[in-house]
A and B are shown apart, each in its own frame.
Chain A
């Protein structure tokens, strides 16, 4: 079931005009910002399909940038996000991409600063609901229905155990998990949807675990 809660249907409370092209877009931007975990100084945003054709009318561009600034779907500052971003020194470029994608409302968001960067592909599936389908080149299926922990790690035996061992210690249950790797022995990504929010102290402990390179979380 893609839609789990009645509030996916009656909701979200949001700034108009489009749940998929405005609210969903803001959520994708915010997910990128949350996962990046730092202040971005630049953003390259690629829009596909219906997003590319109608983004100006729907304020998709404004909404993604609002999300990158950390705004939620009902934040009135969204309508001035482009101006605020410019004032904050966030340099943004939009690209209308002709490539065909599986879902008509697809965006690829690359953000970064002088230290690091992040690339996220997300789809807006209707009614403000989004899914993250790719992160830094790893394919995934993150629904945003639950808080999630993302762990970038080396593809070694014991990497998964080192993470799940810590979660078990704090009695955190994993509802869904997926692992993807770029190649044997290369960088890999673990995605775990959990039933409750995870304290930052636990995230820091996870980051020190064997074979783990980086930890990020998405809050419901």
Chain B
């Protein structure tokens, strides 16, 4: 590993200042679970690393009015240890617990999972389905941007020099709402999604679908929602027929590629199956058996 300078930022302004110098290659160090390995392999060769884990705002995990705020630098395991989060966001818990091992979850961060912008990132589909936004901050400015707009291409996010992901804000819905995340991997643990689907769903009192957001992982270069499937099921009774029909429409939003983990054809075969399981998990959460 080539050597570099290390800066432990104590505030967003500190970090922003260090990240603004365009004459050198300055990278953000969050959990480091990908970055340290990339540096070791020479894939990333920074001049300076700015460690953002000691910035207090980036460690916050709290409910603010009708929003859950997750600090960008908080380890994933500290998020799913909060019982109040788990009851609201079972799909978020599922995705957090699927990322790497316990050792990785104790270190990796939500900002890192988003910032890496891997199409297979487990947190992204559920965050998109939950209509989450990222607070992108510099020393002087803050802006809110939808996660699906923040990630623009594999490995690329829309942040400028001097900016970092301060937190992720997830709206908390009141009433009959739930969410789920289901992925397919060849192995049960320690694997990377071949297909991942996040669903956020709401029901009216007559059990017709009042709200449905379906977001796809590992089958598009950047996050995408399965709009046709969502529109199909909206207003319909949540039953095995409507779930099956909606699931078959998911493929219309996918552009899978063939890579080391699966062929594009296989991913297209998997999508309706995983989609059906993800929607059915929402039904289970509602106490409806299909």
Q: Do A and B bind each other?
A: no
